[in-house]
Amino acid sequence: MFMYSLPLFFEHIHFFSVADFGMFVVGLLVILIINANYSEKTEYQQSLNNYLFASWSGNIALIWVAIPFFILLNIALFAADTMAKTGIFTVSIWDDIHLIFFLPVIWWTVSIWRCSTNTNYLISGAFARFLTISVFFEYALKMLIRIDYPRIFFECEELFLDYGNCF
């Protein structure tokens, strides 16, 4: 996450500095840690038979919701961004991939917020919520780059059929 978009954001867009971004991240983490909830129940439903529904309703441990989807999402987004930067994917295919992953990201966000009390540490629940917020920030950065700065991200010289999307 942020492998390609954050360096472009700081190098070309100059909306705010690295120090401002660091203060914003630390402030957001502090707010999430202060607002973290802790549940007294220590037994969670560990059945993975109905994984999607159990995680949507907040009945499984946080680690079973946060880690697998976060790893898969980051691998997929990194592969899509790498292929778009090298010119293998066109701009419209890159848009389609991000649109396809948007609904699972919403499911993941709701699941994380509901399962964040199913942990033994307050910091892990707050950090998992921070990861969901950072995924939406990543999507906002990619939308900004796609709409306003496509020439700095995509190989527009290589995209003959999709050259109109580079303006």
Residue 19 lies in a domain: yes
Q: What is the pLDDT of residue 60?
A: 87
Residue 43 lies in a domain: no
Residue 161 lies in a domain: yes
Residue 42 lies in a domain: no
Q: Provide the b/e sequence for 83-119 (b: ≥16 CB within 10 Å).
A: ebeeeebbbeebbebbeebeeebeebbebbbbbbbbb
Percent residues over pLDDT 90 in the chain: 26
Give the Cα separation of 47 and 78 in Å (integer). Answer: 31
**Domain count across the chain:** 1
Across the chain, which has 167 residues, the per-10-residue mean pLDDT values are 74 76 87 74 60 86 90 92 84 88 93 89 89 92 82 64 56
Residue 93 lies in a domain: yes
Rounded to the nearest 5°, which phi and psi values hold at 57?
-85, -5
Residue 46 lies in a domain: no
Domain holding 26, by residue range, is 5-35+51-166
> 57: closest CA among 129, 114, 119?
114
Residue 114 lies in a domain: yes
105 alpha carbon, distance to own chain's centre: 7
